[in-house]
């Protein structure tokens, strides 16, 4: 299937999906026709962090700084691991390089307004959730069928956002 712009307004683009060339009817299929539910549910708020596994956090942080011009906001060592926070663009999510994060790829970490409601909605839609607590507040992680990892959290402790600002552990 291919997507074409149907309407371009000031703040949004509405797209339609064209059925494959071998399909008997090539009529546009509106996104609403393909939706699981007729009610749009805004799942996420802002993408605040991209949590990236890194076997060598120090070396990888240096590469981000030298290659991408990233700003090293902080780097903390503790509990047998190292985590570094980098900014590669403003606005945009911070990159968290982590020595303890397991798995094949990054976790996209979104802030939500109502953690309990978001988790309940995800569970109602059959999503397997793993809940934990992070410095910012409650957090739930999950993986899509294609393997992309996500996390949602609610900012309950705003001071945690700047807890490590400027700290660079050797």
Domain 47-162: which CATH number of 3.40.50.720, 3.30.300.30, 2.60.120.380, 3.10.180.10: 3.10.180.10
What is the structure's pLDDT at 106? 97
Distances in Å between the Cα of 35 and the Cα atoms of 12, 22, 40, 73 are 18, 23, 9, 40
* pLDDT, tens digit (0-9, with 9 covering 90-100), for 102-150: 888 999 999 999 999 999 999 999 999 999 999 999 999 999 989 999 9
The neighbouring-strand residues paired with 149 are 107, 143
Query: How many angstroms separate the CA atoms of 45 and 71, rounded?
Result: 24
Full-model pTM: 0.74
pLDDT > 90: percent of the chain: 66
Residue 36 reports pLDDT greater than 80: no
Q: Where are the domains of the chain?
A: 2-34, 47-162
pLDDT above 70 (res 79): yes
Non-local CB neighbours of 8 within 8 Å, separated by 6+ positions: none
Q: How much is the average pLDDT of 8-36?
A: 40
Count Cβ atoms below 10 Å from residue 120 Cβ, excluding itself.
Answer: 12
Tokens representing residue 45 in the block: 């708020």
pLDDT number for residue 41? 64
Q: How many whole angstroms separate alpha carbon 138 and alpha carbon 143?
A: 17
């Amino acid at each position: 299937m291919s997507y074409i712009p149907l309407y371009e307004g000031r703040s949004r683009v509405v797209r339609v999906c064209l059925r494959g060339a071998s399909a008997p009817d090539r009529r546009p299929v509106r996104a609403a026709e393909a939706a699981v539910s007729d009610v749009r549910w805004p799942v996420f708020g802002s993408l605040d962090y991209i949590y990236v596994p890194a076997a060598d956090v120090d070396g990888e942080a240096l590469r981000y700084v030298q290659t991408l011009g990233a700003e090293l906001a902080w780097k903390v060592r503790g509990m047998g691991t190292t985590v570094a926070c980098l900014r590669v663009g403003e606005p945009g999510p911070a990159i968290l390089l982590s020595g303890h994060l397991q798995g094949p790829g990054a976790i996209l970490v979104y802030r939500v307004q109502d953690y309990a409601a978001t988790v309940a909605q995800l569970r109602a839609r059959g999503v397997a959730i793993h809940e934990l607590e992070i410095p910012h507040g409650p957090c739930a992680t999950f993986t899509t069928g294609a393997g992309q990892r996500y996390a949602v959290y609610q900012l309950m402790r705003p001071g945690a956002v700047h807890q490590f600002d400027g700290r660079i552990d050797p």
